[in-house]
Amino acid sequence: GPGPAEVGLGALPAGLRAAVRALVGDLDALFSALGLREECFAVGAFSRVVAAELASYAPARNRRRTATNKASVVFVDRTLDLAGAVGHHGDNLAEKILSVLPKLPGHKTDVMVNMVELTALQTTDETCSIIAPGCLAQPNDPAAKALWESFMNLKQKEAVMEARRHLVEAASRENLPIKMSMGEVTPEQLCSYIKLFRNNLKALENHCGLLQLVLATVQTLKHPQTSKWDNFLAFERLLLQ
C-alpha cells in the first residue's frame, strides 16, 4: 500500500472515507460554535488525512475567513497505543500471571490455577480437568487480597518474597512443620510449603484463597512463556536505549 506520505482520503476504503468526512463535519461544527480560526498540525499518516480534509473543507474555509479566535489544533495518531497492549512493560508479577495462565472460562480478567498440588492426585497432564481450577479473585480472604495488591504494586522479586512470607505465616498459625529459609525464593520452595497444607483439611480450608494465589505464582514462574517474557523485556529496554 502507499507509504505514510502518500496516504490521502482517496486511498482509504469507502467506509473510512465516509467516517473521515463525518468527523471533519463534526469538527467544523465544533470550531464554528467556538468561533475558531484554526491552524492544523498533524502527527501521523491518518492525522494528516484528517487535517488535510479539514483544510480543504469548503464550510471550514468560509468559517476561517470570518472567525476571530485563533487556535492551534494538533491531530495525533494513536496507533502506537496498540503497542502498549502487547508490550512487556516491567517486572510485574500480576501482569505475568494474567498473561501466561489460561483464562478462567467465561471471564476476561481471571485465570485458571491448577489445584492438583493440593490433592493426592498424581498426574503430569496439565489439562487434567478432574480438579476444579482456582482463580485470582479472593474477595473473602484478606491475606489473599493483600498478596494480590503486592503482586500488582511490587517488583517480581519482592512480590515472590511476599508470597513466601504470607505462606509461612499461614503455616505457622496452623502449627504446620514449616522450615523458614532465607535467600532467593524458588518455585520448588513454594511448592514444598504448599504441600504442608495438603494433608490438613482445616488449614486447607482456612487458607484456600492464599494457596490459590501462591500456586498461580509457582505455575507462572515455571511457565516457559515467562523466560520468553524476560527476553522480550530485555530487548524492549535495549530498543528504547
Q: Break the chain into its structural domains and give their ranges.
A: 9-80, 93-240
Residue 157 has pLDDT above 50, yes or no: yes
User: What's the pLDDT tens digit per position in 166-184?
Assistant: 999 999 999 988 877 777 8
Q: Are 177 and 199 in contact (CB under 8 A)?
A: no
Each residue of 34-86: pLDDT tens digit? 999 999 999 888 899 999 999 999 999 999 999 999 999 999 987 666 655 55
At residue 7, the pLDDT reads 61
Give pTM, 2 decimals.
0.61
Task: State the CB neighbour count (10 A cutoff) for residue 174.
Answer: 16
| Share in percent of the chain as helix, strand, coil (round to 5) | 60, 10, 30
Higher pLDDT, 57 or 6: 57
Residue 5 pLDDT > 70, yes or no?
A: no
pLDDT tens digit string along 106-144?
888 899 999 888 887 766 666 666 788 999 999 999 999
Which pLDDT value is given to residue 229?
79
